[in-house]
């Protein structure tokens, strides 16, 4: 049986994201800005949790990867050396009637009618290459000497710090350097929400290895990265690995695999895992005049390491997790929308409710809420009836809800309600934190 997308239209997620404060159009009071978005209270927590889960698995729990946080604006020579000044472009076509600009390789997705043509058909000109890097000036003089770029990938910050890292740490080959941060590309976007934007975040890791071992590490990272999505609950049937054909490869890579997800608009790239060979280190050695090698401590042999790079877009990961977690269910004749987000990703882990707004319930609930939030992101919620509060937290992806009621004052127990199974059980207040920990596994 072939897989189907979790939701039919991206619109479902766009409206949930706006309604519940995950993602808003940027500068909305001024009419919004094309392809720019802001993360709201729930969205910023979700994004932080995704970044933390990535960092935990890629850096914290590994002995062979260290972190880095490089500057967005780098020396302009970096982008000459990396090939971005000459190669980082998309073929662009412009409609001769209405001046609409579209990526030549995305023409098949173009469904708009031309408002200026009698036949309503666009009249496309010849494709032209259009460099995707955002240019700006460093300092007050706006001349060619002050031109700098906003980085189009975080990877180069890692390559130019290779010598700094090996000189200041005890890393031994093979090892990786990981980084998260903003990247910028002047993309012709395809109105797919945050799937492709001009300002986005990346989580990238460059893994430096002995040249002859590159294939082995390439295979290792393909599997490890796919497993990461599975470990966070993404449905296996909506994930696949797709190897690039030779004519799809970026100018720096020998092989590349995309981890693809089945979005409502079809299978599309979620993450890329590339074998970048020794291209970048050699280019930076050439352009900087520095010796950039690895020296084997035993044999004194020098070589330029090969690099395997898993590169993921944080924003793209975020809509993937939102889409995949989205469920509409019917309970007792009522529809519920529930985000079955993995507990590690859920913006709020535990919601605490007083059953009544009197009889000491609020005070007791507040006390328990304060205890829980020391350990887990928690929310106190006393508005509307309990059913409404459950629905609200189902839609926000909160895995557990705790209710304080009359019985709490008799036997020091609370009701613990599970978002996914809807099971409700009574738990001693003193056992609440260990019970949550047992369920979450953290
Ligand atoms: N350093 C390699 C590199 O940047 P890429 O395939 O161009 O490779 C890696 O980007 C990942 O970054 C993509 O798989 C995607 O998740 C994300 N990404 C790239 N361009 C993006 C954009 N314009 N908007 C959102 N995410 C983007």
What does each C-alpha distance from 432 to 377, 429, 440 come to in angstroms? 15, 5, 12
**126-149: per-residue pLDDT in tens?**
888 888 999 999 999 999 899 999
Q: What is the mean pLDDT of the chain?
A: 95
Locus of tokens 């898993």: 310
Query: Which residue CA neighbors atom 7 of ligand 1 most closely?
Result: 153
Angle between helices 361-373 and 432-440 (to 10 degrees): 50
Q: Which of 311, 315, 318, 319 to mutate to test the pocket of ligand 1 (most atoms within 8 A of CB)?
A: 311
pLDDT of 109 over the 80 cut: no
DSSP state of 59: I
pTM: 0.94
Q: Give residue 205 CA to ligand 1 midpoint distance, Å.
A: 13
Taking CA atoms only, the protein residue closest to ligand 1 atom 2 is: 311
Q: What are the pLDDT digits (tens) for 5-56?
A: 999 999 999 999 999 999 999 999 999 999 999 999 999 999 999 999 999 9
Residue 274 has pLDDT above 70, yes or no: yes
Which residue has a Cα nearest atom 25 of ligand 1? 196
Ligand 1 within 6 A of CB of 312: yes
Does the C-beta of 185 come closer than 6 Å to ligand 1? yes
Range of lowest pLDDT (61-70, 84-93, 296-305) = 84-93
Q: In this predicted model, what pLDDT tens digit does every residue of 231-258 receive, in sequence order?
A: 999 999 999 999 999 999 988 899 999 9
Q: What is the DSSP string of 350-397?
A: EEEEESSSSTTHHHHHHHHHHHHHTTS-EEE--SS-HHHHHHHHHHHT
Cα dihedral sign for 79, 85, 86, 90?
positive
Report helix, strand or coil for 195.
helix
Percentage of the chain surpassing pLDDT 90?
A: 86
CA of 90 to the centre of ligand 1 (A): 14
- In b/e form, how buried is each residue of 191-221, taking b as 16+ CB within 10 angstroms? ebbbbbbbbbbbbbbbbbbeeeebeebbebb
pLDDT surpasses 90 at 103:
no
Distance 201 CA to ligand 1 centre (A): 9
- Is any atom of ligand 1 closer than 6 Å to the C-beta of 313? yes
Please give the pLDDT value at position 190.
73
Flag whether pLDDT at 261 surpasses 70: yes
pLDDT band, very low/low/confident/very high, at 206 (cuts 50, 70, 90): very high
Phi, psi torsion values for 47, nearest 5 degrees: -60, -45
Q: Which residues contact 154 (CB under 8 A, 6 or more apart)?
A: 70, 179, 180, 181, 183, 202, 204
Q: Report CA(184)–ligand 1 centroid distance (Å).
A: 10
CA distances, 140 to each of 136, 146, 151 (Å): 11, 9, 20
pLDDT of residue 251: 81
Predicted confidence at residue 210, as pLDDT, reads: 97
On the question of pLDDT at 272 being above 90, the answer is: yes
Q: What is the pLDDT of residue 105?
A: 82
Distance 312 CA to ligand 1 centre (A): 6
Tell me, using a 6 A CB cutoff, whether residue 408 lines ligand 1: no
Could you tell me the distance, in angstroms and rounded to a whole number, from the CA of residue 340 to the centre of ligand 1? 26
Ligand 1: residue whose CA is nearest its atom 6: 272
Residue 241's region, left for phi above 0, alpha for psi from -120 to 50, else beta, is beta
- pLDDT > 80? residue 189: no
Quick one: pLDDT band at residue 1, thresholds 50, 70, 90?
low
Distance from the Cα of residue 243 to its chain's centroid: 21
| Burial of 180: CB neighbours in 10 Å, binned 0-12, 13-18, 19+ | buried
Structure tokens at 118: 């009698």
Distance in angstroms (rounded) separating the CA atoms of residues 210 and 408? 62
Point out the ligand 1 atom lying closest to the alpha carbon of residue 197.
24
Which three-class secondary structure state does DSSP give residue 436?
helix
Q: Is the CB of 315 under 6 A from ligand 1?
A: yes
Mean local confidence (pLDDT), 177-205: 94
Residue 217 parent element (H or E): helix 214-231
Q: Is 204 in the pocket of ligand 1 (CB under 6 A)?
A: yes
Q: 149 is written with which tokens? A: 């770029």
% residues pLDDT > 70 (the chain): 100
Distances (CA, A) of 419 to 22, 251, 279, 293: 19, 47, 49, 53
Which DSSP symbol is given to 328?
A: E
Which residue out of 272, 312, 321 has the highest number of ligand 1 atoms within 8 Å of its CB and is therefore the one to mutate? Answer: 272
Q: Mutate which of 89, 160, 200, 258 to test ligand 1's pocket (most atoms within 8 Å of Cβ)?
A: 200
pLDDT digits 0-9 by tens, 372-415: 999 999 999 999 999 999 999 999 999 999 999 999 999 999 99
What is the atom index within ligand 1 of the atom nearest the CA of 202?
12
């Amino acid at each position: 049986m072939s897989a189907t997308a979790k939701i039919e239209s991206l619109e479902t997620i766009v409206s949930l994201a706006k309604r519940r404060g995950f993602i808003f159009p940027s500068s909305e009071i001024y009419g919004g800005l094309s392809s720019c978005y802001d993360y709201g209270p729930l969205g910023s927590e979700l994004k932080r949790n995704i970044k933390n889960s990535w960092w935990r698995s890629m850096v914290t729990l590994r002995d062979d990867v260290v972190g880095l946080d490089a500057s967005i604006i780098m020396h302009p020579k970096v982008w000459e050396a990396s090939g971005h000044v000459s190669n980082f472009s998309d073929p662009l076509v412009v409609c001769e009637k209405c001046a609409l600009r579209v990526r030549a390789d995305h023409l098949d997705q173009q469904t708009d009618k031309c408002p200026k043509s009698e036949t309503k058909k666009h009249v496309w000109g010849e494709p032209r290459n259009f460099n995707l890097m955002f240019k700006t000036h460093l300092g007050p003089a706006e001349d060619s000497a002050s031109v700098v770029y906003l980085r189009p990938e975080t990877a180069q910050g890692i390559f130019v710090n290779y010598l700094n890292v090996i000189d200041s740490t005890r890393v031994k080959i093979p090892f990786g350097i990981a980084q998260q941060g903003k990247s910028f590309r002047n993309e012709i976007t395809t109105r797919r929400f945050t799937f492709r934007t001009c300002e986005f975040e990346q989580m990238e890791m460059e893994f430096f290895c002995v040249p002859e071992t590159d294939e082995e590490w390439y295979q290792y990272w393909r599997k490890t990265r796919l497993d990461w999505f599975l470990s966070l609950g993404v449905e296996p049937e909506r994930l696949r690995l797709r190897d690039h054909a030779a004519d799809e490869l970026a100018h720096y890579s020998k092989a590349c695999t995309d981890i693809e997800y089945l979005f409502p608009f079809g299978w599309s790239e979620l993450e890329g895992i590339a074998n970048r060979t020794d291209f970048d280190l050699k280019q930076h050695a050439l352009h900087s005049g520095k010796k950039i090698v690895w020296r084997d401590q035993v044999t004194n042999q020098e070589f330029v390491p090969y690099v395997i790079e898993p590169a993921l877009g944080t924003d793209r990961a975020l809509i993937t997790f939102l889409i995949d977690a989205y469920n509409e269910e019917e309970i007792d004749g009522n529809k519920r929308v529930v985000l079955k987000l993995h507990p590690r990703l859920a913006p709020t882990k535990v919601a605490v409710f007083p059953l009544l707004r009197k009889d000491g319930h609020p005070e007791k609930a507040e006390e328990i809420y304060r205890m829980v939030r020391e350990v887990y992101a928690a929310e106190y919620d006393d508005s509307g009836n309990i059913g409404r509060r459950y629905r609200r937290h189902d839609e926000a992806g909160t895995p557990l809800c705790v209710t304080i009621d009359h019985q709490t004052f008799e036997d020091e127990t609370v009701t613990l309600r599970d978002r996914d199974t809807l099971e409700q059980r009574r738990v001693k207040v003193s056992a609440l934190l260990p019970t949550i920990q047992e369920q979450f596994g953290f």
